[in-house]
């Protein structure tokens, strides 16, 4: 089935509505990231417990991104996004009146159930409706994400610090007003033939959820349950005639290398975004507003770089852009690890460097995947990519939250760290740099071995 042919004006309108929706979604995450210290103090939570404000949200986001990606191969994108935005705004309304940590988590989970449609389908829309412009559009998407992540900390710090963090939910409620534009500008599609493998979806969702719970609880029982669910998922996709995920997708070495590279590098980025606010409060005793200002320059720089990410990818190809981005991520993490304890304005410059890698990683990996996955499998191909990306965020938040519960350690992994008394945070950022280095080594080795494209069939 051929996809609708869009005029330039229609493309611009569609890109605009994607950007607006992404802004709401990303701000929802970054605003609450800055508010984590306040939420922790109000409900008297340990770092590993308050991490579930992000971990729980990202967990459902991760699962939802795969589900919606798969559903997009069968059902119209317009319908899926309409349902998602309604859920997203409903969860925000509940969060606005949350009086307990349990109610807050429930609100975040409902938000994630709906909000997962937005980034998941935002990467599918360019590949489906404007493949000739996908590099440029991926750049705009990445730039929007970076810009919103820059505005988010400022808004979160200003509103959360001046009033109450619950008022941050108001921005997410406003997303409901984009539905008329969404219904008008996203092309109509017919429902494609096919069926949804519900047991397969349940098995993979359970495997992901149980695994993340096992990390935060250090429970062998949950880890065993995750492994059992994953084995059931493997059995299902190998034996069912129309599985939730086509097993052929896992046989493409280049596709899996990009997935793994993105997983490791995104773990480094999400880890930085999670740890910086807690570190800023612990080391510098910064207010919520000041934490937002610490993150703002980096996020805005990433927004500016994202404007050129798509053009660079189209001009030079995604591979060199991705390698450059990983070098930047390694450099930024190492500098932060070395400089913790110096004046915040100096540390902010190091944060700028690591933030700059984010849109380049997103643009290059998404663009590269669309060349490896055939059009008819774009939904599940990018859906699995989004699943692993959001899983990386959830895992990094959970692991580093548990690590921060240690309180302090005696030595830093980085010998050149200036202030040894902050060895805990220095070690964490050194680990983030090692994750990015591992991503670089993996990607370089696989793509050096496999020179010819090998699309999933």
Q: Verify that 135 and 227 share a domain, yes or no.
A: no
- The most confident of the ranges 123-127, 163-167, 289-293, 450-454 is 163-167
- On the question of pLDDT at 376 being above 80, the answer is no
| Chain centroid, CA 260 distance in Å | 14
- On the question of pLDDT at 173 being above 60, the answer is yes
Question: Which of 4-8, 74-78, 183-187, 261-265 has the weakest average pLDDT?
Answer: 4-8
| Per-residue pLDDT band at 457 (split at 50, 70, 90) | very low
Residue 2 falls inside a structural domain:
no
For 403-452, give the DSSP string.
HHTT---S--S-TT-S-GGGHHHHHHHHHHHHHHHHHHHHHHHHHHH--S
Task: Please report where in the chains the tokens 């990818």 appear, as a residue.
Answer: 313
Q: Verify that 211 and 336 share a domain, yes or no.
A: no
Q: Verify that 226 and 189 share a domain, yes or no.
A: no
- On the question of pLDDT at 311 being above 80, the answer is no
Q: Which domain holds residue 49?
A: 8-196+244-449
Q: What is the pLDDT of residues 254-282, one digit of tens each?
A: 999 999 999 999 888 888 888 888 889 88
CATH no. for residue 298? 1.20.1250.20
Reading the block at residue 202, the tokens are 């349940």
Percentage of the chain surpassing pLDDT 90? 21
Contact partners, residue 13, CB within 8 Å, separation at least 6: 185
Contact partners, residue 265, CB within 8 Å, separation at least 6: 325, 326, 329, 357, 361, 435, 436, 439
Mean pLDDT over each residue of the chain, to the nearest integer: 82
- On the question of pLDDT at 403 being above 90, the answer is no
Mean pLDDT computed over 5-22? 81
Residue 125 falls inside a structural domain:
yes
- On the question of pLDDT at 4 being above 90, the answer is no
- On the question of pLDDT at 178 being above 80, the answer is yes
Using CA atoms in the order 43, 44, 49, 55, what is the torsion angle rounded to 10 degrees?
Answer: 40
Contact partners, residue 132, CB within 8 Å, separation at least 6: none
Distance CA 48, CA 29 (A): 18
Distance CA 390, CA 21 (A): 18
| Per-residue pLDDT band at 335 (split at 50, 70, 90) | very high
Residue 457 falls inside a structural domain:
no
Distance CA 101, CA 15 (A): 36
As to burial, measured by CB atoms within 10 angstroms (0-12 exposed, 13-18 middle, 19+ buried), residue 156 is buried
Q: Verify that 289 and 336 share a domain, yes or no.
A: yes
For residue 452, what pLDDT is reported?
45
Reading the block at residue 390, the tokens are 């959001």
């Amino acid at each position: 089935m051929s996809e609708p042919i869009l005029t330039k004006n229609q493309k611009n309108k569609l890109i605009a509505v994607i950007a607006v929706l992404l802004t709401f979604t990303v701000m929802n995450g970054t605003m609450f990231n800055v508010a984590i210290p306040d939420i922790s103090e109000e409900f008297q939570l340990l770092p590993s417990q308050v991490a579930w404000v992000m971990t729980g949200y990202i967990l459902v986001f991760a699962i939802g991104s795969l589900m919606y990606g798969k559903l997009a191969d069968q059902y119209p994108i317009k319908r899926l996004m309409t349902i998602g935005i309604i859920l997203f705004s409903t969860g925000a309304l509940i969060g606005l009146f949350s009086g307990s940590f349990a109610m807050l988590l429930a609100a975040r989970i409902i938000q994630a159930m709906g909000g997962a449609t937005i980034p998941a389908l935002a990467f599918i829309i360019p590949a489906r409706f404007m493949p000739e412009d996908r590099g440029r559009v991926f750049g705009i998407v990445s730039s929007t994400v970076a810009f919103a992540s820059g505005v988010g900390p400022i808004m979160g710090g200003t509103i959360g610090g001046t009033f109450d963090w619950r008022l941050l939910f108001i921005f997410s409620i406003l997303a409901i007003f984009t539905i008329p534009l969404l219904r008008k500008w996203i092309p109509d599609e017919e429902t494609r033939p096919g069926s949804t493998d519900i047991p397969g979806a349940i098995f993979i969702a359970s495997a992901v959820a149980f695994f993340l719970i096992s990390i935060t609880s250090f429970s062998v029982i949950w880890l065993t349950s995750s492994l059992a669910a994953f084995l059931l998922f493997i059995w299902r996709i190998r034996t069912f005639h129309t599985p939730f995920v086509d097993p052929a997708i896992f046989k493409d070495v280049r596709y899996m290398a990009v997935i793994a590279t993105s997983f490791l590098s995104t773990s480094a980025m999400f880890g930085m975004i999670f740890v910086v606010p807690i570190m800023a409060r612990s080391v510098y005793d910064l207010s919520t507003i000041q934490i937002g200002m610490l993150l703002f320059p980096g996020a805005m720089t990433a927004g500016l770089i994202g404007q050129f990410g798509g053009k660079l990818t189209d001009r030079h190809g995604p591979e060199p852009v991705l390698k450059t981005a990983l070098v930047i991520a390694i450099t930024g993490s190492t500098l932060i690890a070395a400089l913790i304890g110096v004046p915040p304005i100096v540390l902010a410059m190091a944060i700028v460097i690591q933030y700059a890698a984010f849109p380049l990683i997103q643009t290059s990996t998404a663009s590269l995947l669309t060349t490896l996955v055939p059009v008819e499998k774009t939904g599940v191909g990018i859906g699995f990519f989004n699943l692993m990306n959001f899983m990386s965020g959830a895992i990094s938040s959970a692991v580093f939250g548990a690590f921060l519960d240690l309180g302090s350690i005696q030595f830093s992994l980085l010998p050149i760290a200036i202030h040894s008394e902050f060895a805990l945070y220095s070690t964490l950022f050194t680990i983030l740099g090692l994750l990015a280095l591992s991503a670089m080594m993996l990607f370089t080795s696989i793509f050096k071995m496999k020179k010819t494209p090998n699309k999933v069939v």
